[in-house]
Chains A and B, each alone.
Chain A
């Protein structure tokens, strides 16, 4: 119970930090969003003070209250689910834009990461079990793939499999012209077809990390005394591998899985940009290029919340998988 309580306190603190960061960044940064927008408008024609007032009202920066009262108002708006109005998708509210784009990202990134994790763990298990075999020598190759930037690999795959040999579509989440979104077979097929290349990019560039981590933990666990005991008892190598070694070696990878989610989301933003995938990363970039600060903050908040939530889930699960963590705290 104490373990759970500690975890919850930490996540509440992290959530508060994220919310406050989201509130403070626009107010501490040297660039004022209103000035930024006005300077863009001024290149096209004269700007009247009423325009300024209108933009201030739109961005919600027209209140001259103290920082504390603004903070209170901001928190109140968040609790009531009001994230403001998007400029890029005017007049849609930010929450609606996020609601439309989030399923795409969660579907693509979630699936691709799960596949990559499973592959990496299996490969790493094999490499650690038979050290010095051909599969172990694969490690430097996968590390090389891991240091390849996500977006460059995406560009390369797009060039090879999209342009040179047109096997996969060049961009988008589904075929806009021939299928209607909804739970019908053509749409699902189209989504899978369009998602294959982005997913492949993510899997190829992230599988090496899982593999290396698992391999190293396998090697470390193999030299533990309990493995020697298991061998001495005459258990089958298969049983030792999966029940004794792999089961213990996979634990750090699982907690690493939670931490890596933040990086995965970050990488996916750029991947989505390359494939023009209609996910939340594209929404963030559109917000950045249109100076849509409400949408930008909303997207940052949602990404942070998603990563925090996933971390919490893994943390709670970890307590079940590895009883030692509960005992220690």
Chain B
């Protein structure tokens, strides 16, 4: 089911560059077609996607395996602020804690926040976006009003105000608060796309065919939204990690947790900037930036599925669309 619906939506837009080849040399495209159809389920493996996946994969692995390998990140030693090397891969903090060990635990903490917020955001945004647009009528009006209001109310100040009222926060509370303030944007995008899918002929056909409404929503419409959902989740994860880092940096994060943000908070409060301890404040930020960039690269590839017009068209690639010498000969024979 998935493959066929996927195919119908992308097929029309995707075949346009190949149109000329198709008309001139039907035999050549007939051989090529099964390959392209299989590829449509996943983004084509480009350099961007490869780099993005491998960086993100390495960071996730570091977050999963790192904490099992390294020592206790809170152990205090009497060798404060030693640079990288000297027995510690990334040096030590002011109180002699192993920064590499802290980084491993922080990676795990930040990734947990990202995953939890991503999941909650996915649920909330697909509920408010999909169901509203599909049902229509006053439900749609109410849902989209709620979405738009949540969209214009600034998130981080709200999160700051909420979290300042709760002195001892768990990591789950922080994740929930971040998710509540961040689902609206993707709900709006999903609503727009659902509205356009809903009015397509095949949905009408399914409705006339007597399919149940939930089945139309889940089986006919939802598969078309998968690339869009994926890119929204990736955005939500980036947003959550950045938001949590900002919150923790201000000292308002979850209590007793290790995340990239808390590391930066302690680095800032430990005057690492004035003391020139770059090995303390540089790695957490660099990891955030790398992870964010990797997820963005993955998102580019997903975007190119949603909107085939965005595919990079360098001159070399455009030349490849042209006919090969054999095809040109075959075409010449047909026309003459």
Q: Using CB atoms and an 8 Å cutoff, list the residues of chain A in contact with chain B.
A: 10, 13-14, 17-18, 21, 25-26, 29-31, 33, 36, 131-132, 136, 140, 143-144, 146-153, 155-156, 158-159, 163-164, 216, 219-220, 223, 259, 262-263, 265-267, 269-270, 273-274, 284-285, 288-289, 291, 296-297, 299-300, 303-304, 307-308, 311
Contacts and interface: CB of A to CB of B under 8 A. Distances in A.
A14 B156 CA distance: 17
Contacts of A219: 309-310
Contact of A270 (B48, B246, B295): B246
Given A143-B300, A147-B288, A297-B161, 10 more contacts: A10-B145, A132-B313, A147-B242, A149-B285, A151-B245, A152-B264, A159-B278, A262-B155, A263-B155, A269-B160
A149 B153 CA distance: 21
In the A-B complex, the 3 residue pairs with the smallest Cβ-Cβ separation, listed nearest first, are A147-B292, A266-B156, A152-B285
A288 B250 CA distance: 10
Interface stretch (B101-109, B163-171, B201-209, B220-228): B163-171
B307 A14 contact: no
23 contacts: A14-B148, A26-B165, A33-B165, A143-B293, A143-B297, A147-B238, A149-B242, A149-B264, A149-B285, A149-B288, A152-B245, A152-B288, A155-B268, A159-B281, A220-B307, A220-B309, A259-B152, A262-B153, A262-B155, A270-B249, A284-B157, A300-B161, A303-B154
Contact of A144 (B162, B282, B289): B289
A266 B239 CA distance: 12
A165 to B, nearest CB: 13
B75 interface: no
Q: Which of the four size classes fits the interface of chain B?
A: 35 or more
A12 B39 CA distance: 48
Given A144-B293, A163-B274, A21 B153 contact: yes
B236 interface: no
Contacts of B281: 152, 155-156, 159
Contact of A29 (B48, B148, B165, B274): B165
B160 A284 contact: yes
A213 B250 CA distance: 30
A147 B273 contact: no
Contacts of A17: 149, 153
A155 B313 CA distance: 38
Nearest to A224: B309
Contacts of A159: 273, 276, 278, 281
Nearest to A258: B152
Interface of B: 48, 145, 148-149, 151-158, 160-162, 164-167, 185, 238, 242, 245-246, 249-252, 264, 268, 273-274, 276, 278, 281-282, 284-285, 288-289, 291-293, 295-297, 300, 303, 307, 309-310, 312-315
A291 to B, nearest CB: 8
A6 B151 CA distance: 17
A14 B285 contact: no
A152 B289 contact: yes
Given A30-B166, A33-B165, A266 B149 contact: no
Contact of B148 (A10, A31, A156, A267): A10
Nearest to A151: B249
Nearest to B151: A259
Nearest to B291: A147
A303 B152 contact: no
Contact of A296 (B155, B164, B297): B164
B250 A25 contact: no
B296 A149 contact: no
Given A132-B314, A300-B157, A13 B145 contact: yes
Given A17-B149, A25-B161, A219-B310, A132 B246 contact: no
B266 to A, nearest CB: 13
Given A151-B264, A155-B281, A266-B246, A140 B292 contact: no
Residue in A144, A153, A266 whose Cβ sees the most chain B Cβ within 10 Å = A266
B250 A262 contact: no
Nearest to A144: B293
Contacts of B238: 147
A259 B188 CA distance: 12
A151 B246 contact: yes
A136 to B, nearest CB: 8
Contact of B296 (A25, A146, A158): A146
Contacts of B48: 140
Residue in B156, B165, B252, B281 whose Cβ sees the most chain A Cβ within 10 Å = B165
A148 B155 contact: no
Contacts of B167: 31, 36
A228 to B, nearest CB: 13
B310 A216 contact: yes
A55 to B, nearest CB: 16
A307 B161 CA distance: 17
Contacts of B292: 144, 146-148
Contacts of B156: 263, 265-267, 269-270
Contacts of B246: 149-151, 266-267, 269-270
Contact of A14 (B153, B155, B166, B245): B153
A158 B296 CA distance: 26
Contacts of B251: 289
Given A25-B165, A150-B246, A155-B268, A311 B313 contact: no
Nearest to A33: B165
Contact of B273 (A25, A31, A163): A163
